[in-house]
Amino acid sequence: MGLNTQQQYCLQKMGINIYVPRDGNADDIVPGVDEVHMPMVDTGIDQPEWESLRKQVAACTKCELHKGRTQTVFGVGNINADWMIIGEAPGRDEDMQGEPFVGRAGKLLNAMLRAIGLQREQVYIANILKCRPPDNRDPRPEEVVCCEGYLKQQIAMIKPKIILAVGRIAAQNLLKVETPIGQMRGNRYEYPEGNIPVVVTYHPAYLLRSPREKRKSWQDLQMAMKLYKTIT
């Protein structure tokens, strides 16, 4: 089965015109990803509990980041999702709009998801931090600790079937490792609380700066979809 028109379009949006594996077999793709059916099964989320968590995050003053934020960035998407996308922290656009992965990086993430047959509305997207660090610097350990409980609660309530960790900081903090992201790619991990499969890939912002790495992210996405298909 070759790449269909939708996949080719999405890959072009990612900056990848044609994907050809090293063995030269252009058919080595995820079969039927344009027809992925995401069952909207009720996960049993207690809506009042979910809204209570959202309000806790909005009012949080646990660390110094609350002093410089425009607003918190709780997360966005389908709370009954099979897929959860976890990134690093809000940037300027996210801080202004209150939604993770907007702007150029958000558009690229959307294209990455569409390349494997997913719409942004079908997944749930969150970050390690709920507030923007000044000048988009890396999160500090104490800041991650302050936000960790919120993300844990989100994961526990959503109960995703698979997590895509986007970027080094997200992957290392989620999995409690210090392994370089280049070594984490291509491996299956498990989120320790719930034994949820985790696949690691590069952050869209990094891919915008290093477009040659987009092919590697495409490989990661294929791996994630193949893994998902084996567990559903």
Q: Looking at residues 28-39, what average pLDDT do you find?
A: 45
Would you say residue 10 has pLDDT above 70? no
* pLDDT reported for residue 192: 86
Q: What is the mean pLDDT of the chain?
A: 87
The span from the CA of 58 to the CA of 15, in Å, is 36
Q: Is 93 helix (H, G, I), strand (E, B) or coil?
A: helix
Residue 196: the pLDDT is 97
What is the CATH code for 64-231?
3.40.470.10
Q: What is the pLDDT of residue 46?
A: 81
Question: How is residue 216 written in tokens?
Answer: 């590697």
Q: Nearest CA to 120 among 159, 150, 75? A: 75
* Helix, strand, coil percentages in the chain from 3-state DSSP, rounded to 5: 50, 10, 40
Q: For residues 65 and 72, what is the distance between their CA atoms, to the nearest angstrom?
A: 10
Say whether pLDDT at 64 is over 60: yes
pLDDT reading at 39 higher than 50: no
* Residue 5: band (very low, low, confident or very high) from pLDDT cuts 50, 70, 90: low
* Run of H or E including 154: helix 141-158
Predicted local confidence at residue 131, as pLDDT: 98
- Give the pairing type, strands 76-77 and 162-166: unpaired
Structure tokens at 227: 């893994």
More confident residue, 38 or 186: 186
pLDDT of residue 2: 52
- The whole-number average pLDDT for the span 189-196 is 91
- Tell me, what's the pLDDT at 157? 96
Averaged pLDDT, 42-63: 89
pLDDT band at residue 45, thresholds of 50, 70 and 90? confident
Asked if the model's pLDDT at residue 150 lies above 80, the reply is: yes
Question: DSSP letter at 133?
Answer: P
120-142 per-position pLDDT tens digit: 999 999 999 999 999 989 999 99
Task: Please say if the pLDDT value at position 205 is more than 50.
Answer: yes
Alpha-carbon span 33 to 16, nearest angstrom: 17
Residues in the chain: 232
Q: Looking at the predicted structure, is the pLDDT value of residue 36 above 60? A: no
For the chain, the structural domain boundaries read: 64-231
| Cα 59 from chain centroid (whole Å) | 24
Q: Are 194 and 205 in contact (CB under 8 A)?
A: no
The torsion angle over the Cα atoms of residues 211, 165, 139 and 70, rounded to 10 degrees, is 90
Residue 65 in contact with residue 131, Cβ under 8 Å? yes
CB atoms closer than 10 angstroms to residue 228:
22
pLDDT tens digit string along 79-135? 999 999 999 999 999 999 999 999 999 999 999 999 999 999 999 999 999 999 999
Q: What pLDDT score does 44 carry?
A: 64
**Contact between residue 116 and residue 78 where contact means Cβ atoms under 8 Å apart:** no
Minimal CA–CA distance to 97: which of 79, 78, 71? 71
Q: What is the pTM of this model?
A: 0.85
Tell me which residue of 91, 151, 103 sits closest to 125, measured CA to CA.
Answer: 151
